[in-house]
Amino acid sequence: MKVVEKKISILEIKRMAKRMFGILVKAVIDVKKEIMVINAELHADEEQYLLQRGSKQEDLWGINLYPEKKGDDFIEFDSMINLKPSQDNYSRGVDDPKIQKKIIQIINKLVQR
């Protein structure tokens, strides 16, 4: 598991993917602090790590990164931690387009492609 507060290279993400799941890495984004934790077996583990570091539940969103893919296919909005009825998010995805846009901006800032 790695906290990313500054740039991480796509090559490092590719290495992480090969070691863990082959084609993807799991990440949890804190949309308020604009950081992410990457490369754990479960989004819940990454979420817990950020909560212990002072993040707030409502700011955390789980995604998958596919380092071999480009464009919209690079990020997948899919995680059990995204089920947040109290925030009107009733799916494993990220239903609010504003939050999706914020996550994409953070990924573009943190991942050097």
pLDDT at 96: 97
Q: Is the pLDDT reported for residue 113 higher than 90? A: no
Q: Are 65 and 75 in contact (CB under 8 A)?
A: yes
Residue-level pLDDT at 84:
97
Say how far residue 90 (Cα) sits from the centre of its chain.
Answer: 18
Model pLDDT for residues 80-95, shown as the tens digit of each residue? 999 999 999 999 999 9
Whole-number percent of the chain with pLDDT over 90: 95
How high is the pLDDT of residue 66?
A: 97
- Report phi then psi at 17, rounded to 5: -60, -45
What is the largest distance, in Å, between two alpha-carbon atoms of the chain?
Answer: 37
**Contact between residue 17 and residue 24 where contact means Cβ atoms under 8 Å apart:** yes
pLDDT digits (tens, 9 = 90+) for 17-28: 999 889 999 999
For the segment 43-57, what is each residue's pLDDT rounded down to a tens digit? 999 999 999 999 999
Do 75 and 49 touch, CB atoms closer than 8 A? no
Q: Which helix (H) or strand (E) holds 105?
A: helix 97-110
